[in-house]
């Protein structure tokens, strides 16, 4: 059975103190209100990770980094490696978010190395793919998604691939208030699953969690998560409000 996941990507928001307050609030709401079997993941900034891990100890919530370097250590000023994340109890890492691709020039080749490192150290990678508005309008989106998935992930062997979660996040829907319709998202999710089946096996494809991201809110979460190939969401803006986030978590059944 593939796992349902709702993950909150806090991006560059919240000081240490604010992060602790928000995690504490989310933790209480998950405990009191969420009865499903899905997984809840929170990705605060690097600075807040150690305290976030401590705050969710003994709960159903896991903590994710938003990025990681592909080398274990070395002269890479300002970077954080996967063994460092692992040493404090981080279990997931988001790799390939469109903001990393767009503003920090991360290519499929770099992202493939990052994904490999995350998995080599026993963490789960949440690997993001998604087309820009221009690519959608010029009907290149299938090709773009195929390239991102295959170049980013298909260097992994079958065993490694079992630690991959894919997030489809159309760039035109991130932080814009525009959401892909449930049908548009389902179309791409089914396509990604087909690519995984062709590269690995139908069984592996069936076990792979594929999340949707891009302006998911409490109002649209249920209709998106109801789609057969959508296994939850990667949430940006709405993850910064405990009430909205828990309502999205509750839409995961």
Q: Catalog residues that contact ligand PGA under the rule CB under 6 A.
A: 9, 169, 174-175, 213-216, 234-238
Q: Does the annotation count 189 as an active-site position?
A: no
Q: Smaller CB distance to ligand PGA: residue 161 or 168?
A: 168
Residue nearest ligand PGA by beta-carbon distance: 236
Q: Euclidean distance between the first and final Cα of the chain, in Å?
A: 13
Break the chain down into helix, strand, coil percent, rounded to 5: 50, 15, 35
Q: Please, where are the H alpha helices in the chain?
A: 16-33, 49-55, 82-87, 98-104, 108-120, 133-137, 141-153, 158-161, 182-199, 202-207, 218-225, 242-250
Least distance to ligand PGA from the beta carbon of 10, Å?
10
Q: Smaller CB distance to ligand PGA: residue 9 or 67?
A: 9
CA 64, CA 122: separation in Å to the nearest integer?
A: 13
Q: Smaller CB distance to ligand PGA: residue 200 or 211?
A: 211
Task: Report yes or no: 50 and 23 within 8 Å, Cβ to Cβ.
Answer: no
Least distance to ligand PGA from the beta carbon of 23, Å?
18
Least distance to ligand PGA from the beta carbon of 188, Å?
15
| Active-site residue, from 97, 99, 131, 189 | 97
Least distance to ligand PGA from the beta carbon of 228, Å?
22
| Active-site residue, from 99, 106, 131, 169 | 169
Task: Report yes or no: 56 and 20 within 8 Å, Cβ to Cβ.
Answer: no
Q: Smaller CB distance to ligand PGA: residue 214 or 232?
A: 214
**Residue 158 burial (CB count, 10 A):** 11
> Residue 64 forms beta bridges with which residues?
92
- The catalytic residues are 97, 169
């Amino acid at each position: 059975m593939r796992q349902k996941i709702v993950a909150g990507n806090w991006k560059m928001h919240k000081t240490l103190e604010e992060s602790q307050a928000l995690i504490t609030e989310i933790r209480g709401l998950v405990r009191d209100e969420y009865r499903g079997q899905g997984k809840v993941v929170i990705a605060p900034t690097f600075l807040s990770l150690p305290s976030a891990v401590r705050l969710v100890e003994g709960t159903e919530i896991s903590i994710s980094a938003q990025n990681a370097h592909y080398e274990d250590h070395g002269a890479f000023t300002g970077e954080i490696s996967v063994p460092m994340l692992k040493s404090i109890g981080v279990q997931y890492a988001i790799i390939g978010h469109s903001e990393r691709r767009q503003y920090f020039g991360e290519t499929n080749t770099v992202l493939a190395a990052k994904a490999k490192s995350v998995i080599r150290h026993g963490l789960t990678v949440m690997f993001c793919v998604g087309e820009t508005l221009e690519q959608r309008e010029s009907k290149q989106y299938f090709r773009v998604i195929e390239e991102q998935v295959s170049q980013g992930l298909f260097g992994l062997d079958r065993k490694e691939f079992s630690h991959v979660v894919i997030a489809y996040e159309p760039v035109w829907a991130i932080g814009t208030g525009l959401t892909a319709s449930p049908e548009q998202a389902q179309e791409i999710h089914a396509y990604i699953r087909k690519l995984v089946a062709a590269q690995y096996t139908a069984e592996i494809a069936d076990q792979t969690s594929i999340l949707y991201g891009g302006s998911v809110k409490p109002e649209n979460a249920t209709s998106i998560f109801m789609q057969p190939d959508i296994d939850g969401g990667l949430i940006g803006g709405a993850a910064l409000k405990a009430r909205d986030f828990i309502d999205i978590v509750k839409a995961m059944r």
